[in-house]
Structure 1
Amino acid sequence: MNGSLEALEDWAAPLLRKLAPAERGKLARSLAQQLRRNQQQRVKAQANPDGSKYTPRKARDLRGKKGHIRRKADMFQKLRKVAYLKAKGDGSAISVGFTGRVARIARVHQYGLRDRAEPGAPDIRYEQREILGFTDGDIDLIRDKLLLHLTI
């Protein structure tokens, strides 16, 4: 995957240098927004960039008060919202990532680090769940959008 991203970068760099700075910025913002949408859809599907499913959560007792069963929520419901998953693009770079306090939570899951679930709780190792990453479809999207932008 990393090799194909570098190959795309080597291929696209000379073409992007020919564009005016305003055009590069417009293209970068458009690509960043589309990549964010793709990341959101993949997180909603609970899938890693390679297509494998996330490791499921540890089993918990979902019965709260007597007679009530809480709905089992998908992981990262709030993380995938636009308020937390930011997309930026200018004439020189595109970035899609998390900001603020949620960035720490995302980093712990992205790399499978140790953390506390709540203050005072013991440290536990979280399973690695790649929240952000390039799929083959994302690389194809970048290439296709660049070609479309250059031909118009």
Structure 2
Amino acid sequence: MAVADDLTQLELWAAPLLAKLAPAQRRQLARAIALDLRRAQQQRIAAQVAPDGTPYTARKRAPTLRGKRGAIRRRNGDMFVKLRTARWLKTNVTSEGTEVGFFGRVARLARVHQEGGRDRVAPDGPTARYPARPLLGFTTADSQLIRDCALKFLHS
């Protein structure tokens, strides 16, 4: 519950300051916060660490070591290499708030990994059970990041 308490304290601290800003300034601040949060989420996903600090469950080895001819093989087993790019990990910004997440068709894939569950390995392939590997989450470091970004914006 520490993260929920941090969010409540952050909201109580920021609400009077944000009320004094024009909608365009609030949107500009929300965009800066969204980009910083997305960068933090991307770095955490690249480090293969859940929001609570635990490492992701290791991926299963492929049944055969032989790949398609000319295919680029994964070097160190990193997961979610493409999923963490800005093309898929999107920000949605309004003067009222900010969202960082997966939207559209890729959201279903991300949800299977976020919560754990069953999904098809390939469109006509077998189904597999995926362990929960939380991609997105809010940490106390994110709360500090938002606070720092707001202070930097208000001082400029």
What's the TM-score once normalised by structure 2's chain length? 0.86
Which residue of the partner structure matches residue 6 of structure 1? 8
**TM-superposed deviation, 1:61:** 3.0
Q: In structure 1, how many angstroms separate the alpha carbons of the residues matched to 2:106 and 2:143?
A: 26
| Conserved? CA contact 2:92–2:100, under 8 Å | yes
**1:13-57 CA distance string (max 9 Å, x none):** 122111111111110001101111111111111111111111111
Asked whether the 8 Å contact 1:64–1:70 carries over to 2, the reply is: no
Residues of 1 paired with 2:98 and 2:88: CA distance? 17
The farther-off stretch of 95-104 and 55-64 is 55-64
Call closer, same or farther: CA 1:34–1:65 in 2, change over 3 Å: closer
Q: Which runs of 5 or more residues in structure 2 are unaligned? A: none
Distance 1:106 1:62 in 2: 26
Does residue 146 in structure 1 map to residue 150 in structure 2?
A: yes
SS of aligned partner of 2:56: coil
Question: Is residue 77 from structure 1 mapped to residue 88 from structure 2 by the alignment?
Answer: no
Change (3 A) 1:65 1:36: closer
Q: CA RMSD in A?
A: 2.1
1:132 is matched with which residue? Answer: 136
| 1:15 paired residue number | 17
User: 1:120 Cα shift?
Assistant: 4.2
Instruction: Output the CA distance in 2 between the equivalents of 1:8 and 1:125.
Output: 38
Contact conserved, 1:62 with 1:70, CA < 8 A, in 2?
A: no
Q: 1:90-148: per-residue Cα shift (whole Å, max 9, x none)?
A: 21010101122211110011111222222344443211111011122111010111122
**Bigger CA drift: 54-63 or 93-102?**
54-63
The structural deviation recorded for 1:151 is 2.8
2:30/2:98 contact within 8 Å kept: yes
Give the stretch that moved more between structures: 133-142 or 68-77: 68-77
Q: How many angstroms apart in 2 are the aligned matches of 1:65 and 1:95?
A: 38
Aligned residue in 1 for 2:91:
87
Structure 1 unaligned regions, length at least 5: none
The residue correspondences of 1:24-35 to structure 2 (distance < 5 A) are 24-35=26-37
Task: Give the TM-score of the pair, scaled to structure 1.
Answer: 0.88
